[in-house]
């Protein structure tokens, strides 16, 4: 069981995780648990303030230390009570380490995560120094808060939990194509808008289908994301497939 405690002033947003799809099913099957904590519930003033102006001036607001710290402590206490000895506190932040599958794998080894999803310009740095173990960004673009990034991380972690995908094959396939883009997919009808499904997929020849798919995956990765392909590290078969893909592409372009 993985424990997620999420600190957010918009707990309803996390219904995107708890009420839909694979994550909903995994939650129902108790493969993980998720609890949200609202810093507003840890305020002591009449206005339930969680943000204030930045010292030094400038635009935007900063999440105040006190309610946030109280929230982190409540969340980590709950995790310890649930048997997580050292809950890892992760701040979702544009300044964080960029999320990729290697980082997902690393975080998947943690029995419990306390995720802080911030709003405003940022959180008081003294809380970061005192209580945050890691900072994670989902990429070099700006979202309106840490909630969507936190949900991206939770989703990536939950789908890898054993029993999470209805299809054990999907997981095996993910590893077959690890570090590569997908091959093209087709379903019925066989002919649509004057376009037919590639013959090999209709052949029933499973070895030929697997070979074609791997060739397409390699070729498309090479075309679209050359940064993901280290040609020196490819097996002889894969180099052969990539070579075939390029020849076929050239032949096709000459036809047009
Ligand atoms: C120049 C100041 N901005 C930093 C890029 C301020 C700012 C904008 C947006 C501060 C926080 C946010 C809200 N986003 C996140 O908290 C966030 C985020 C993101 O914007 N992109 C990618 N990953 C993440 S993780 C958290």
| Domains located in the chain, CATH noted | 2-158 (3.40.1280.10), 175-255 (1.10.1270.20)
Q: How do residues 175-188 score in pLDDT, each as one tens digit?
A: 667 889 999 999 99
Q: How do residues 93-138 score in pLDDT, each as one tens digit?
A: 999 999 999 999 999 999 999 999 999 999 999 999 999 999 999 9
Mean pLDDT of the chain: 95
Mean pLDDT of the region 148-171: 88
Inform me whether the pLDDT recorded for 69 exceeds 90.
Answer: yes
DSSP 32-50: EEEEEE-GGGG--STT---
pLDDT band per the 50, 70, 90 thresholds, residue 8: very high
Question: Under 8 Å CB-to-CB from 151, ≥6 apart: which residues?
Answer: 13, 14, 16, 17
CA–CA separation, 93 and 134 (whole Å): 10
How would you list the strands of the sheet with 32-37, edge to edge? 32-37, 2-7, 112-117, 88-98, 134-137
Best of 143, 151, 153 for a ligand 1 pocket test (most atoms within 8 Å of beta carbon): 143
CA–CA separation, 245 and 31 (whole Å): 41
Active site residue 174: yes
pLDDT score for 178: 83
DSSP 15-30: HHHHSSHHHHHHHHTT
Percent of the chain whose pLDDT exceeds 90: 93
Burial of 16 (0-12, 13-18, 19+ CB in 10 A): middle
Q: How do beta strands 191-192 and 195-196 pair?
A: antiparallel
pLDDT score for 173: 67
What are 71-74's contacts with CB under 8 Å, separation 24+? 71/7, 71/37, 71/38, 71/39, 71/41, 71/42, 72/7, 72/114, 72/116, 72/127, 72/131, 74/37, 74/42
Question: Under 8 Å CB-to-CB from 171, ≥6 apart: which residues?
Answer: 160, 165
Kindly state the tokens that stand for 189.
Answer: 């009808």
Percent of the chain whose pLDDT exceeds 70: 95
Asked whether 145 lines ligand 1 (CB < 6 A), one says yes
Among residues 46, 41, 32, the alpha carbon closest in space to that of 7 is found at 41
Q: How do beta strands 191-192 and 112-117 pair?
A: unpaired
Asked whether 23 lines ligand 1 (CB < 6 A), one says no
pLDDT score for 241: 98
Burial of 25 (0-12, 13-18, 19+ CB in 10 A): middle
Q: How do residues 82-98 score in pLDDT, each as one tens digit?
A: 999 999 999 999 999 99
Distance 81 CA to ligand 1 centre (A): 32
Task: Report the number of secondary-structure helices (H) and strands (E) in the chain.
Answer: 10, 10
Inform me whether the pLDDT recorded for 199 exceeds 80.
Answer: yes
pLDDT score for 171: 62
Q: What are phi and psi of 114, to 5 degrees?
A: -105, 110
Distance 63 CA to ligand 1 centre (A): 13
State which ligand 1 atom lies nearest to the alpha carbon of 96. Answer: 25
Radius of gyration over alpha carbons of the chain, in Å? 23
pLDDT score for 256: 87
Q: How do residues 16-41 score in pLDDT, each as one tens digit?
A: 999 999 999 999 999 999 999 999 99
């Amino acid at each position: 069981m993985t424990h997620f405690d999420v600190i957010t002033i918009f707990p309803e947003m996390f219904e995107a995780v708890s009420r839909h799809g694979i994550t909903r099913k995994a939650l129902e099957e108790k493969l993980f648990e998720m609890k949200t904590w609202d810093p507003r519930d840890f305020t002591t003033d009449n206005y339930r303030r969680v943000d204030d102006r930045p010292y030094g001036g400038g635009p935007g607001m900063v999440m105040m230390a006190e309610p946030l710290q109280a929230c982190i402590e409540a969340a980590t206490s709950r995790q310890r009570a649930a048997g997580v000895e050292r809950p890892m506190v992760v701040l979702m932040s544009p300044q964080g380490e960029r999320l990729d599958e290697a980082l997902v794998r690393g975080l998947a080894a943690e029995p419990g995560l306390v995720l802080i999803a911030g709003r405003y310009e940022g959180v008081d740095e003294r809380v970061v120094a005192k209580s945050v173990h890691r900072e994670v960004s989902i990429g070099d673009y700006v979202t309106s808060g840490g909630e969507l990034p936190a949900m991206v991380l939770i989703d990536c972690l939950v789908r890898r939990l054993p029993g999470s995908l209805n299809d054990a094959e999907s997981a095996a396939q993910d590893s077959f194509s690890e570090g590569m883009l997908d091959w093209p997919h087709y379903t019925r009808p066989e002919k649509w808008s004057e376009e037919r499904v590639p013959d090999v997929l209709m052949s029933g020849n499973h070895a030929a289908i697997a070979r074609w798919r791997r060739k397409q995956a390699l070729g498309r990765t090479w075309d679209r994301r050359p940064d993901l392909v280290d040609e020196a590290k490819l097996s002889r078969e894969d180099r052969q497939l990539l070579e075939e893909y390029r020849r076929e592409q050239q032949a096709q372009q000459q036809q047009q």
